[in-house]
Chains A and B, each alone.
Chain A
Amino acid sequence: MASTFRLVRFAALACALSLGPVTAAAQTTDGFHSIQVFPVVVDSASFTQRFTFRNPNTAAVNISPVYLPGTGTSQASLLTCPSFSIAAGADRTFTSLRHICPALAAESQFGMLYTYKLSTQNLPYSAFSRVANPQGNGFSVEAFAANEFTSADSSIAGLRRLASGPGNPAFQTNCFFGNMRDLPPAATATTEVVVSLYDANGAKLGSDLAVPLVPGQLTRLIDVFGAVGAPVGDHDNARMQYFEAGDGEPGLLAFCTVQDNTSFGADFRIAKQEHPFDFELVGPQDDHAARDVLEGQDAFGRVFELGAGASAANTHLVYFKHPDWIECRLLDPLLGTPLANSYGVEMRLVQADTGEVLAGGAGIQGFTQVYTGDKTDRNNGANTRYFLQVESNGLNTGSARRYWVQCGSGSGHTRVDLVAYKEALNRF
């Protein structure tokens, strides 16, 4: 009886979270930041959320938490909660959301929690939380750095709505969409996302659904299949995609939960940035981590070109990651096609701090699928910077040669900057 009671109460939480039967969200191993956002936080009669903050610094850090309520909850507006301090090198645990935010409205609440450090010093910290009932049942929610939320077209795969059967429970998918708060809260432009659902064969289910999003609020779509008007019945291995339809490219937060309606187990699936700006590109909306870059000039408008003769060189700078596979090539700026050797330029890739040549060389205008190495192979295990050396190959006796550089990578790289321009050099 007692366990049945617990199951019912757990179901109540799951419903509250459908409201967000969220099981957990982690983040990357790169977990120390000055702004940490919990995509979902909850407080109810049966469940509490336990927060742990870690300060790895040699000075105390002061953190300001701001609670951003979910739509439909009784907390009318955002709530600035009391700031708190974490001693140098220490951790601090709060036993509940209400412990962090005592002025939280009564009754069950869910929303997002935005936290940031108040100190004038640069003191990154990490944050983790666990939602549980007194029996320990629950789920984990880690914090994300605020800069991870963008307006990139994003997707979540593997969604399902299934009726229960002899061998499986009923499954339901709920999706949540939020618009990051603005700091200071001055620009309050509402935007909207257009949500689409596709079945396992790539066919659209139902119709597109526009969801308006106010900064600092989380909006829920219970049973996303029902919300878009998908045909009744089972759907398995479906995909939710959305794009931001407003102006300004705000930071958007989206996740889905796939819950089973028997045990009320659930998982949390953060939306992944699939297409930045241009649908032809893949990856996040982030100039630190572009998967494909095509450039013909640098930050100052300096056109990529080389003069005639054997001694003319440019040196470009790109930060790649390792391990990864990367590729770069020189393109004709008029035709957009790979350059031939007769065009008069050549290129090679050099690790900046060792001078090791990784790819390219004399008479080469590009390379594909070069492995940057294991962690042990480079820069004491830290992702690092590389030179892309482009120079005349001596075959150009005419006018200056313009070129574009296109680089691709599996885990992202920076733009193609220019650190030495039109030097009279012949290095290879």
Chain B
Amino acid sequence: VRLATSQSFPRTLESMNASASFRRTAFACLLALCASGAAQGQSTDGFHTIQVFPVVVDSDSFAQRFTFRNPNPTALTIAPTYYPANGTSQAAALACPAVVVPADSDVTLSSLRTLCPALAAGSQFGFLYTYQDGAANLPYSGFSRVSNPQGQGFTVEAFSAQEFTSADATVSGIRRLAATPSSPTFQTNCFVGVMNLLPPGTSTLPTEVYVRVIGSNGALLGSQQTVLLTPGRLTRLLDVFAAVGAPAGNHDNARVEFEEDGDGEPGILAFCTVQDNTSFGADFRIAKQEQNFGGDFGFGGIGAQDDLAARESWLLEDMRTNTGGSTYANRPFAVGTGVAAANTHVMYFRHPDWIQCELIDPDTAVRATNGYGLEMRMVANDGATVIAGGNNLQGWGKVYLGEKEDRNEGANSRYTIEVQSNGQNTGNARPYELHCQSGSGHTGGDILQYQQAVNRF
């Protein structure tokens, strides 16, 4: 039942009748072709002005039902563009008619073909890029459900475009298992693509993504594969274990790793589906950004490639300050001698979370001692509540920021980190590095007040 190429998929469908077994088979083929899996959600932060459905599909038996929500007090216009997957008959990207969503309303479209009437005939799959077209800033949400007339199917929610990066990413828990008397056959398909660029043509260079499958014992299965990708294209790896040349037989609790190797750090879109070949149920597993290789202060660390969400930051100076004309200068983190000398940094953390910060002596590359002449503390956004640190302290470990209701009316917030002389430095100014860690990410630690003559604590 599983077809190797998408070209044969529509022909096969057309040759079959509409019996229940046909629908079941067609659904299985659909999943194998588009690997769309059972479902996917996104975060609770769901309103954006660019929304990307990682996979969309249209076939004789299955329709994808889209719901767009406009929470704004004015109407908005959504411009959708369909990007076909490699191997499908839609030759190129397709700009589809605009969708107008009235103020504080929802609009539902019953199929991808309703959304994009000029879609090539036959079964199609790819990804769908949508954005709000207009001068105002009007975020919206996107949700879809793929199903046959009997209601069987799966869910695909939209992601904001900025979530796709070139971070090394992984999907865990994948499997390939033969059927047994008590369990079905399991198969894993993976997909990888590069986000389209806007406006098109700013950079059309292909990039490469290395794909590796790691067994449950941590050993590489088969060999690393290289997938060449161009912007706006999705590529499928049917049975990823076979695609990498893994030894025949069962593999359970394996992991697939995606590593981008080109220039420019494009937005890579990657996911896998683990399907059972009996009921043809499947799940959708978006690749998670595991290690980032971009940004100003979290390079090489765990987590997203995102300077708003670094899990670990190291900062010796803040950003370039344009002081006139084309002259730029960084401000090194340093506090002068005497009792009254201080810097104040701003950091955005999330809560609930655990965080920790410390001052690093650049000469020793370890936490500064009290004798170095600095001290630090962290203050909440009310400007008064000291959360950690204090007199003669150069850091703290694992501080809990509290529940939602504990801080800033339940909203993730900004904090200030005050670094000042502790009075023990009678020599030169003391440079330092600000090192912070968090479980859910934070910003860099820019300076709001630089080298002030104050002694706050």
Point out the residues of chain A lying under 8 angstroms from B170, CB to CB: 54, 56
- B47 & A274 in contact (Cβ 8 Å cutoff): yes
Given contacts A122-B439, A251-B352, is CB(A285)–CB(B281) below 8 Å? Answer: no
Q: How far is the CA of A163 from the CA of B350 in the complex (A)?
A: 44
Within residues 56 to 82 of chain B, which ones have a CB less than 8 A from any CB in chain A? 65, 67-69, 71-73
Which residue of chain A is the closest to B318 with respect to CB atoms? Answer: A419
**Is A212's beta carbon under 8 Å from chain B?**
no
Bound Cα distance from A148 to B305, whole angstroms: 19
Complex contact A147–B253 (CB within 8 A): no
Contact in complex: B143, A124 (CB < 8 Å): no
Residues of B with C-beta under 8 A to A200: 106, 108
Chain B nearest Cβ from A119, distance in angstroms: 8
Report the minimal beta-carbon distance from B178 to chain A, rounded to whole angstroms: 13
Q: What residue of chain A has the Cβ atom nearest to residue B287's Cβ?
A: A29
Q: Is the CB of A24 within 8 A of B40?
A: yes
Which residues B408-430 have CB closer than 8 A to chain A? 408-414, 416
Interface residue? B84 (CB, 8 A): no
Within the assembled complex, what's the spacing in Å between the Cα atoms of A180 and B328? 47
Is A347 part of the binding interface, using a Cβ–Cβ cutoff of 8 Å?
no
A151 close to B410 (CB less than 8 A):
yes
Q: Mark A323-355, 1 if CB is under 8 A from B, else 0.
A: 111110000000000000000000000101101
Residues 392-410 of B contacting A (Cβ, < 8 Å): 397-398, 400, 403-406, 408-410
Complex CA distance for A52 and B186, rounded to whole angstroms? 16
A161 close to chain B: CB less than 8 A: no
Alpha-carbon distance A377/B231, docked complex (angstroms): 14
Residues A237 and B67 in contact, CB atoms below 8 Å apart: yes
Q: Which of B288-306 contact A (CB under 8 A)?
A: 288-296, 298, 302-306
A83 at interface, CB cutoff 8 A:
no
**Residues of B189-238 whose CB lies within 8 A of A:** 195, 197-198, 202-203, 216, 218
Residues on the A chain within 8 Å of B356, using CB:
122
A window 258-275: CB within 8 A of B: 258, 260, 262-263, 265, 267-275
Whether A319 touches B265, Cβ cut-off 8 Å, given contacts A136-B184, A381-B166, is no
Contact of A93 among B164, B173, B288, B355 (CB under 8 A): B173
In the complex the two chains form, is B253's CB within 8 Å of A323's CB?
Answer: no
Q: Tell whether A24 pairs with B283 under 8 Å between CB atoms, given A140-B38, A265-B152, A374-B267.
A: yes
Measured CB to CB, the nearest residue on chain B to A241 is: B71
B8 close to chain A: CB less than 8 A: no
Q: Is A410 an interface residue (CB 8 A)?
A: yes
Q: Is B308 touching A319 in the complex (CB atoms < 8 A)? A: yes
A299 touches B381 (CB 8 A): yes
Neighbouring A residues of B276 by C-beta, 8 Å:
132, 135-137
Contacts of A144 in B (CB 8 A): 43-44
User: In this complex, what residue of A is CB-closest to B48?
Assistant: A411
The answer to whether B255 touches A251 (Cβ under 8 A) is: no
- Check A408 against B137 for contact (C-beta < 8 Å): yes
* Residues of chain A within 8 A of B151, CB atoms compared: 168-169, 171, 260, 262-263, 265
| Pairwise interchain contact A157-B302, C-beta atoms closer than 8 A | no
B264, A376: Cβ atoms closer than 8 Å: yes
Do B137 and A180 touch across chains, with their CB atoms under 8 A apart?
no
- Contacting residues, chain B, for A29 (C-beta < 8 A): 159, 163-165, 169, 286-289, 304
Q: Does A138 contact B (CB under 8 A)?
A: yes
B438 at the interface (CB under 8 A from A): yes
CA distance A272 to B182 in the complex (A): 39
B402 to chain A, nearest CB (A): 9
Instruction: Report Cα–Cα, A374/B200, bound state, in Å.
Output: 10
Are A287 and B413 in contact, CB atoms less than 8 angstroms apart?
yes
Tell me whether A263 and B305 are in contact (CB under 8 A): no
**Residue from A30, A35, A149, A277 in contact with B306 in the complex, judged by beta carbons closer than 8 Å:** A30
In the complex, which of the residues A56, A250, A275, A277 has the most CB atoms of chain B within 10 Å of its own CB atom?
A: A56
Residues on A with C-beta less than 8 A from B337 are none
Known: A136-B281, A249-B409, A355-B320. A155 touches B404 (CB 8 A): no
> Does A235 lie at the interface of the complex (its beta carbon under 8 Å from any beta carbon of B)?
no
A154 to B43 CA separation, bound complex (whole angstroms): 12
- The contact of A385 among B41, B293, B400, B444, by CB within 8 Å, is B444
The answer to whether B288 and A387 touch across the interface, beta carbons within 8 angstroms, is: no
Instruction: List A contacts of B45 (CB < 8 A).
Output: 148, 272-273, 283-284, 286, 289, 412
Chain A proximity of B307: nearest CB distance (Å): 5
Q: Write the A113-133 contact mask toward B (1 if CB under 8 angstroms, else 0).
A: 000010010101010101010
Contact digits for A302-340, partner B, Cβ 8 Å, 1 yes 0 no: 000000000000010101011111110000000000000
A287 B69 Cβ-Cβ under 8 A: no
Asked whether any CB of chain B lies closer than 8 Å to the CB of A300, the reply is yes
When the two chains form the complex, which single residue of B44, B150, B154, B203 contacts A284, counting CB atoms closer than 8 Å? B44
In angstroms, how far is the closest chain B Cβ from the Cβ of A45? 15
A382 within 8 A of B: yes
**Chain B interface residue number, banded:** 35 or more
In the bound complex, do residue B39 and residue A147 qualify as a contact, i.e. CB atoms below 8 Å apart? Answer: no
Shortest A339–chain B CB gap in Å is 19
Q: How far is the CA of A171 from the CA of B152 in the complex (A)?
A: 11
Partner-binding segment picked from A66-74, A217-225, A393-401, A420-428: A420-428
Instruction: Determine the distance from Cα of A35 to Cα of B283 in the docked complex, in whole angstroms.
Output: 23
B155 touches A269 (CB 8 A): yes
Q: Is B449 part of the binding interface, using a Cβ–Cβ cutoff of 8 Å? A: yes
Known: A35-B439, A157-B67, A263-B151. A415 touches B414 (CB 8 A): yes
Is B431 on the interface with A (CB-CB < 8 A)?
no
Q: Which residue of A lies closest to B441 (CB)?
A: A30
Min CB distance A359 to B, Å, is 14
Residue B46, interface by CB 8 Å:
yes
Q: Known interface pairs A25-B41, A130-B274. Does A272 touch B253 (Cβ–Cβ under 8 Å)?
A: no
B377 close to chain A: CB less than 8 A: no
Q: Is A150 in contact with B397, judged by CB distance below 8 angstroms?
A: no
B325 to chain A, nearest CB (A): 7
Check A54/B172 contact, CB under 8 A, given A384-B295, A419-B318.
yes
Taking the complex as formed, is A145 at the interface, i.e. its CB lies under 8 A from any CB of chain B? Answer: yes
CA distance A84 to B422 in the complex (A): 42
Given A187-B403, A374-B195, 4 more contacts at CB 8 Å? A30-B289, A30-B304, A250-B410, A287-B408
Q: Which residues of A contact B (CB under 8 A)?
A: 23-35, 50, 52-54, 56-57, 89-91, 93, 117, 120, 122, 124, 126, 128, 130, 132, 134-140, 142, 144-151, 154-155, 157-158, 167-169, 171, 180, 182-183, 187, 189, 200, 202, 237, 239, 248-251, 258, 260, 262-263, 265, 267-277, 280, 282-289, 291-292, 298-301, 315, 317, 319, 321-327, 350, 352-353, 355, 368-369, 371, 374-377, 379-385, 387, 389, 408-412, 414-415, 417-420, 423, 425-427
The contact sample of 29 A-B pairs, CB cut-off 8 A, is: A26-B157, A29-B159, A32-B290, A89-B218, A91-B216, A124-B303, A132-B276, A136-B281, A145-B439, A148-B44, A250-B410, A269-B157, A270-B43, A270-B46, A286-B45, A315-B322, A319-B308, A319-B443, A321-B308, A322-B162, A375-B162, A375-B166, A375-B265, A381-B165, A382-B295, A382-B305, A384-B296, A417-B448, A425-B323
Rank and list the top 9 A-B pairs by shortest CB-CB distance, nearest first.
A34-B439, A410-B49, A381-B265, A249-B410, A24-B39, A136-B276, A260-B151, A380-B294, A272-B46
